Amino acid sequence: MCRARAHYFEASAEDIDMSNKLVLVSQPDQNGVLQKFYLPYDKLVISVGSNTNTHGVDGLDHVHFLKTIADARGIRNHIMDNFEIACLPTTTEEQRRNLLSFVVAGGGPTGVEFASELADMMEEDLTPYVPPLLQSHN
């Protein structure tokens, strides 16, 4: 970026005034007060990506999205936690079934790839290492 003599602002674009070629930019300052300024442009490239579509469903704080590295890590930790709890001798069979019920909402490319990877993970990586006590339940 230095070589290209580019400027970098860590801030949010709030609005675009196309007739005057200005971008309204905002960012909280050190006191947490929102500061706004206009940034002029000759050419503007919008490449802000996209948000996850909630479809207006309630309770989405209980679900995992699959967009960032943090999301992926969160999912893996959650799977492993559930598995560890399921392996405890104090867990009932019904609790175990519920813990190990994995639901993917959305049958697009992301959901389908995730579901098949998850099934492979269960089959090949996890169930062979389940304590013998539980395997005898089959």
Partner 1 sequence: MRDQVSVHIVQSQSHILNTYDEKISKYAEKKFCNDKINVITNARVSKVEKDKIYYTLQGADGKVTEHVLPAGLIVWSTGVTLNPITQTVKNQLIHVQKNRHALETDSHLRVLGAPMGDVYAVGDCATVQNNLAGHIVDFLRAADCEVGKDPEKTELTFDEWRRVAGKIKRKFPQAASHLKRLDKIFYESDCDHSGTSFSKYPY
Q: Are 28 and 34 in contact (CB under 8 A)?
A: yes
What DSSP element (H or E) covers 17? Answer: strand 12-17
Backbone region of residue 4 per phi and psi (left: phi > 0; alpha: psi in -120 to 50; beta: other values): alpha
Q: For the CB of residue 132, give the shortest distance to partner 1 in the complex, in Å.
A: 11
Question: Least separation, in Å, of the C-beta of 74 and partner 1?
Answer: 10
Q: Does 69 bind partner 1 (CB under 8 A)?
A: no
Q: Per rule CB under 8 A, is residue 16 in the interface with partner 1?
A: yes
Is 26 a binder of partner 1 (CB under 8 A)? Answer: no
Measured from the Cβ of residue 23, the count of other Cβ atoms closer than 10 Å reads 19
**Stretch near partner 1 under the rule CB under 8 A, chosen from 3-11, 32-40, 42-50:** 42-50
Dihedral sign, Cα of residue 76, residue 94, residue 91, residue 128: negative
Please report, as ranges, the residues that interact with partner 1 according to CB under 8 A: 12-16, 18-19, 21, 41-55, 57-60, 62-66, 75, 78-79, 82, 86, 93, 96-112, 114-116, 118-119, 122-123, 127, 130, 134-135, 137-138
